[in-house]
Structure 1
Amino acid sequence: MLGGPGIAGLLLTILLLGLLCPKLANAENILAVFSYTFGSSYLLITPYLRNLVQRGHHVTLISAVTIMPTIEGVHHIRVPKLDMLMEALLEYDYDVHNTKWTEAQFVSEYFYNCSKFVLEDPGVQQLLHNASAQYSLIILEAAHNDALFGFSQHFNAPLVGIAAYGSSWNIDFLVGNSAPSVYEPMSALGYSPGHSLMEKWHNLIFITEERLVERFIYLPGQIDLYKKHFPGLTASIHDLRRRFSLILINQHFSMGRVRSNVPNIVEVAGMHLDEAPHTLDAELKKILDEAEQGVIYFSMGLQVVDNWLPPDMRATMSEVFAQLKLQVIWKSDHPAMVNQSSNVISRTWFPQREILNHPNVKLFITHAGLLSLIEAVHYAVPVLCIPLFYDQFQNTKRMEKLGVARTVDYTNLSRDEIVLVIEDLVYNASYKQNVRDLSQRFHDQPMSAMKTAIWWTEYILRHKGADHMRIAEQEMSLMQYYNVDVVSVLFGRIGLSAIIVIFLGWKLVSLATRNLEYRLNVPIVR
């Protein structure tokens, strides 16, 4: 029996691989639909989908063309019009003084086009009309693209959502979460921390306005798209919105956003850190290594273009940096227009994570986007925030409360004030110590964010949607979800009692008045 031991060894190896890699026996077909046009969002989902492929799953991905990189092993369905939408967005003259209502109209139209371009794409239409196409799971963006929820009903597959910008009241609603959503608006314009009674009333009105915006401005267009492209489905879009098996939230409680989440909301902040960072080129490495006074890294993010910034911001920041002894690395769309000082280097792109990881970096000046702040915490770098819109204001307040950041108002940038703030952040040791402590708490987790995301995704697959994870409130009516029935009973009794007391008091006063008139025989003016 020549070769017998070799064959036996091979069989043993295959058996061990089978035991250690059960993924090969549990491979599932997964459809991922992402109508993102912003590059930062793809930074989050690219490593997530890559890990699903490495686990043996068969992934079909509907996405933009140029922004979403090609993932080996993924069947890509590209939607060119999403890239055209991004180009138009970059040319949009964003007004930082927009009201919440004008922003809502803009956002509604933008996400309507995102859903529309996906559903009208020939490749997507071919998939929808392919009778042999079967999927065990649908993964998509959790908010603002409700028409795309129809993929779940069409393929009879559970929904997993990705909330790239953290949670808010509309995310809570999708999973029946009873956490106090009044503290989590979608837009932060005019929103307050909510400490006083009047502020809480103001915020309640604020959230109510957002609900009206969603109901009457945002949802109608999504409903029309859903009915047009999924005509044979019996479930309404309102039913589908409450069928999420799992939502992965890009946040973590250690970063000051503590919430009482239901089981099918899982925090996975830092999931994008699973991707290997870009390396430093020789010039950049030399600048960082030789910066004896330290380095400031200044970037307003991937999705904020210079023409969206206040017109005097570039000049003001150039004046600020000229007064500093620290080396400045400045990401800008127009490097030639900002590179005025010997201590400033500017390019259109930098390997942000590798820069923040360098020991000579003393400060990160940022728009306070969620991914940027997660990276600042991960690498323990103090932050100067210049928030512009949406979640950036709330992100900034949390970082300030944690003692790792300060902020300046983009509408009133003062050179001298910014210099003083930078010097405080760089030379006051408390900020560095606080961010080190915060970074340690952030890293102290039983599993990495990516392993957590993959484990719970496969949990949904193993349990065919895991209906047992969804809270009973998810099946309740709107009146029950907001405890209106309880409130009605409580205030109904109190209100009825008050009406009876007022009525009896009025009758007693009227009776007493008539008696007095009768005795005095003088009419009393009421």
Structure 2
Amino acid sequence: MVGHTSGALLVFGLCLQLTHAANILAVFSYSFPSPFLLVGPYMKALVHKGHQVTIISAKNHLADIDGARHIRVEMLDQLMEDFLNYDFEKDFPMSKWQQALIMAEFFYNSSRYILSDAGVQSLIQDKSAHFDMVIVQASHTDALYGFAPFYNASLVGLSVYGTAWNIDYLAGNKAPSVYEPMSPDGYSTGLGLMQKLKNWIYITEEWLLEQLVYLPTQMQLYKRFFNKSAESLYNIRRNFSLMLINQHFSLGRARSNVPNVIEVAGIHLENPSDQLDDDLQRFVDEADHGFIIFSMGMEITGKWLPPDWLLIMQEIFAQLPQRVVWKYEQAPPNKSENIYISPMLPQRELLAHPKVKLFITHGGAMSIIEGAYYGVPMLCLPMYYDHFGNADRMKHAGVAQIQGILTMTVETMTNAIKELIKNPVYAQNAQQMSERLRDQPMSSLDTAVWWTEYVLRHKGAPHMRISEDDMSFMQYYSLDFILVFFVRFGVAILIITCVGLKLLSFLLKPSHILSSVPLLK
């Protein structure tokens, strides 16, 4: 009897799991490796939960996931290769508008290669295909949002690089305190009136770039492949059910998020970390004065850096008592004995090593999260987009210093390194940040999966979102009240002013003055 009962419970449990299983389409136009460090564990977790997941992505970077259906778009890999071979020096320095034109073409091709791919077209033409949810890269590939209404599915955004004002707009988050530029280089962190005015102009310019440069090309693709009106795409852009952002308030800034914006910084930490090989293990274990990690991320190569940069770094490292583990394509000539160079490094294992003293980084989102998670002081060399904002938050939190990649010298870099290593305040602040980041009710991956399934359970969870119909721009900022108040107040002031002026003019009339004096009658 017990056996029959156990069997029945098992069958019931399986049926219950199948009942909650959903068909999910995940569309990622990323053509470089780092975003897939986050995408991989998220997709695996959804498959493990019993969902039927179809993934559209580049051929490289994301390994096959057992239980998931993969549609590989090989042209995305070619796109990245062409981009890396682009001669940026001929256009340097570029204005913000020139940068936007280049990136708009890149994102246009990303969306176009996906929508025109034979495998994707076969999926679109398959009348039996059905999806309950579409997960997309959050920004700049708006044409791909069209998959959601095509399948009448809820739309979820994944923002690997944290957030900015455009991500908040998609999530319906209009609070002024969350305004952050897409490219923070030149954006002020001050609170003065002129600084606020400058930032407003800065954000307005980015808004114009989105409306006039990025969005029109995506609109062309949307109309062509989904045969829908422009208005329908604008409606989609205002109806994301969920936005997962690779950020966390413990990393330097609390934000006034709306309920459908969920912070999931650290999903990629669920990936198993690579072990140190014997030579590298011995190199760091025997570092009497500790060691420094130097990595500019997975995508940045030597050709992106200034010509004299390599010689400057060698000179700096050669005079340090610490050993240096440097991620670089190849060992330069005359390398000093205290430097270990490799094109790939097990970064997380190195950051977790007890002898690590400092992490020199470009300030990419995942590198910053790793440095914070393991409590290591950082020296940031930001280069583009989110790097500047990430670096500034770490500096403000007292765990990092910043050096300009084009303005640094041997002296300024050496002084910064010594200060970060010798001043114990940086290590203490980094350790406190690590403790805060780790102190969460559940892992970032579990958080992402739970909220994803929450949206599935509640049919898109429209109750999580501030609807423009429920709260217009005027209502959100209480402009209706302010307008009525100032109109009434203004009318009252105008009436009082007019009466006062009339009375004053009457009192100052000579005839009135003369007639009021009895002796002059």
TM-score by length of structure 1 reads 0.90
Range moving further from structure 2, 415-424 or 487-496: 487-496
Match of 1:380 among 364, 371, 375: 375
Aligned to 2:136: 140
Range moving further from structure 2, 21-30 or 236-245: 21-30
Match of 1:81 among 75, 81, 86: 75
Aligned to 2:251: 255
Does structure 2 conserve the Cα–Cα contact (< 8 Å) formed by 1:183 and 1:194? no
Is residue 2:282 matched to residue 1:269?
no
Aligned to 1:36: 30
**Per the alignment, do residues 199 and 284 of structure 1 end up closer, same or farther by CA in structure 2, a change over 3 Å counting?**
same
**Per the alignment, do residues 123 and 199 of structure 1 end up closer, same or farther by CA in structure 2, a change over 3 Å counting?**
same
Range moving further from structure 2, 475-484 or 94-103: 475-484
Match of 1:400 among 395, 400, 408: 395
Between the aligned residues of both structures, percent identity stands at 49
Aligned to 1:323: 319
Which amino acid in the other structure matches residue 410 of structure 1? I
**Per the alignment, do residues 320 and 484 of structure 1 end up closer, same or farther by CA in structure 2, a change over 3 Å counting?**
same
Does structure 1 conserve the Cα–Cα contact (< 8 Å) formed by 2:222 and 2:228? no
Q: How does 1:372-521 map to 2 (within 5 A)?
A: 372-473=367-468, 476-477=471-472, 485-486=480-481, 488-489=483-484
Partner of 2:307: helix, strand, or coil? coil
Partner of 1:244: helix, strand, or coil? coil
Partner of 2:241: helix, strand, or coil? strand
How far is the alpha carbon of 1:23 from its aligned partner? 3.5
Gaps of 5+ in 1: 517-526
Does structure 1 conserve the Cα–Cα contact (< 8 Å) formed by 2:38 and 2:160? yes
CA distance in 1, matches of 2:430, 2:11: 42
Does structure 2 conserve the Cα–Cα contact (< 8 Å) formed by 1:365 and 1:385? yes
How far is the alpha carbon of 1:493 from its aligned partner? 5.5
Aligned to 1:354: 349
Aligned to 1:196: 192
**Per the alignment, do residues 25 and 192 of structure 1 end up closer, same or farther by CA in structure 2, a change over 3 Å counting?**
same
Aligned to 2:515: none
How far is the alpha carbon of 1:70 from its aligned partner? 1.6
How far is the alpha carbon of 1:467 from its aligned partner? 1.2
How far is the alpha carbon of 1:475 from its aligned partner? 5.5
Q: How does 1:112-127 map to 2 (within 5 A)?
A: 112-127=108-123
Range moving further from structure 2, 206-215 or 101-110: 101-110
CA distance in 2, matches of 1:214, 1:514: 62
Aligned to 2:519: none
Match of 1:287 among 283, 290, 306: 283
CA distance in 1, matches of 2:16, 2:272: 26
Partner of 1:297: helix, strand, or coil? strand
How far is the alpha carbon of 1:100 from its aligned partner? 2.0
Does structure 1 conserve the Cα–Cα contact (< 8 Å) formed by 2:295 and 2:328? yes
Which amino acid in the other structure matches residue 314 of structure 1? L
How far is the alpha carbon of 1:336 from its aligned partner? 2.6
**Per the alignment, do residues 487 and 118 of structure 1 end up closer, same or farther by CA in structure 2, a change over 3 Å counting?**
farther
Is residue 2:57 matched to residue 1:57?
no
How far is the alpha carbon of 1:388 from its aligned partner? 0.9
CA distance in 1, matches of 2:213, 2:52: 37
Does structure 1 conserve the Cα–Cα contact (< 8 Å) formed by 2:190 and 2:196? yes
**Per the alignment, do residues 99 and 503 of structure 1 end up closer, same or farther by CA in structure 2, a change over 3 Å counting?**
farther
How much is the aligned-residue C-alpha RMSD, in angstroms? 2.7
**Per the alignment, do residues 359 and 105 of structure 1 end up closer, same or farther by CA in structure 2, a change over 3 Å counting?**
same
Aligned to 1:90: 84
Aligned to 1:156: 152
The Cα offsets for residues 478-522 of structure 1, whole Å up to 9 and x where unpaired, read as 555565545544555567678888999999999999999xxxxxx
Which amino acid in the other structure matches residue 243 of structure 2? I
The Cα offsets for residues 154-176 of structure 1, whole Å up to 9 and x where unpaired, read as 00000111011111111111121
CA distance in 2, matches of 1:353, 1:310: 27
How far is the alpha carbon of 1:410 from its aligned partner? 1.3
Is residue 2:181 matched to residue 1:185?
yes
Gaps of 5+ in 2: 512-521
Aligned to 1:68: 62
How far is the alpha carbon of 1:111 from its aligned partner? 1.1
CA distance in 2, matches of 1:497, 1:118: 61
